[in-house]
Structure 1
Amino acid sequence: MFEVKMPFIEGEVVIHPSHGPMRVTHIGDRLVRGVTTKYINLEAVVMQLRLSVPESRASDSGLRAIASRDRIDELLSILAAPSIKSTMGWSRRIKDYQERLRSGNVEALCFVIREIKRHGNSAPSSAEGQMLRRAMSTLSIEFSLALQVDEDEAKAIIEETVSAVGGELQLSA
């Protein structure tokens, strides 16, 4: 399998696996330990956070483009898929969800949302509730950017899809 290098453009929004949507604010060279390296400067869309990633390590860091319309349909299928009955105890299930969320993998994010919404404790103070809010925020922002809708509408699409157990919700074009 070969790696496709993503071209970065100042002003575009990309997805960081840990911090969600980030805007590319500058692409430039820096002298680090005597070596000139191209860096991508990023600024979080929803919080005050700035970071720089060497362009050569952008793919390794999990930086990726916003999901395409086809990719959104695939993610909706994951959200609508039947749940997996877990035989794990509460603490192991929480640890599994945390590892999935830390991975930055958008499919894992969808899995965690689906499982907590259907079977978990989404009370505000619960560990699952906190994970659900974080995961929903990240995914709904990406959906809103990809589908060009507001964040509340994107969240409603996600919640409606998760509620359609075993079925698939197709978005109109």
Structure 2
Amino acid sequence: MKSSKSPAVKLAANKPSPAAAKPAPIKAPEPKASDLVFDKGDFVVYPTHGVGRVVDIEERQIAGHKLDLFVISFEQDRMTLRVPVAKAKVSGLRKLSSRKIMDSALTTLKGRSRVSRAMWNRRAQEYEAKINSGDPVSIAEVVRDLHRNAGQPDQSYSERQIYEAALDRLARELAAVERIDKDTATQKLQGVLNTMLKQAA
């Protein structure tokens, strides 16, 4: 669904040369096209929201300049995000990870969990930063490190929330890469984690 409000975009104006007595108006250059090419229907990953799908590519006029926008739907979160095509790479928008990268994430889940002695607030910030990086391997580290307490009575509410958010984010990308549903992807991840715990016992 297209928004009725245009995004606020500021374009820097070119300054005329001081040597010119009567400088002619200089038109600001058109934004350079991003080297990221997506079509309608493509799955993409936005760092702070995870996997979404390009549902449209809009063209708008902002301050006299044409602006192309990727319209990305995050169905599970029931939200739509518009990202300028020229700013797509800078914003962190990317294509789905390769199977090789996802395999690295699964390998990370099998590794030894890292136990930090830092205060929970500090650790929570580190975990959230890894989740919002959008990097599957970093997200897998969060899942691995927090899985040992998953479902335990002494697990705090905030720790459980972070664990579930990381697991959900990783499962959604795995599902898109392997073309399976999210529940199946979640079961696959939990199977790897449970095997790791049994081996560590």
What is the TM-score when the length of structure 1 is the normalising length? 0.83
Comparing 115-124 with 129-138, greater Cα deviation is found at: 115-124
**2:87 matches 1:54:** no
Deviations 1:25-51 (A, max 9, x none): 111321112211221111112121111
Instruction: Check whether the contact 1:80–1:163 (CA below 8 A) recurs between aligned residues.
Output: no
CA distance in 1, matches of 2:56, 2:196: 43
In 2, Cα distance between equivalents of 1:149 and 1:40: 25
Distance in 2 (alpha carbons) for counterparts of 1:115 and 1:27: 39
Q: 1:114-163 CA distances to partner (integer Å, 9 max, x unpaired)?
A: 11102567668610101111111121111111112221221111112223
The 5 Å alignment of 1:16-165 reads: 16-119=46-149, 126-165=157-196
Matched positions, count: 164
Of structures 1 and 2, the one scoring higher in RCO (CA 8 A, sep 6+) is 1
Deviation at 1:24, TM superposition (A): 0.7
Structure 1 residue 104 displacement after superposition = 2.7
Identity of aligned residues (%): 27
Q: Structure 1 stretches (4+) deviating beyond 6 angstroms? A: 120-125
Cα 1:122–1:152 change in 2 (3 A) is farther
List gaps (5 residues or longer) in structure 1. Answer: 167-173
Give the alignment partner of residue 11 of structure 1, picking from 28, 41, 46.
Answer: 41
- CA RMSD of the aligned region, Å? 2.4
Structure 2 CA distance for aligned equivalents of residues 58 and 67 of structure 1: 16
Q: Which amino acid aligns with 1:32?
A: I
Q: TM-score, normalised by structure 2?
A: 0.72
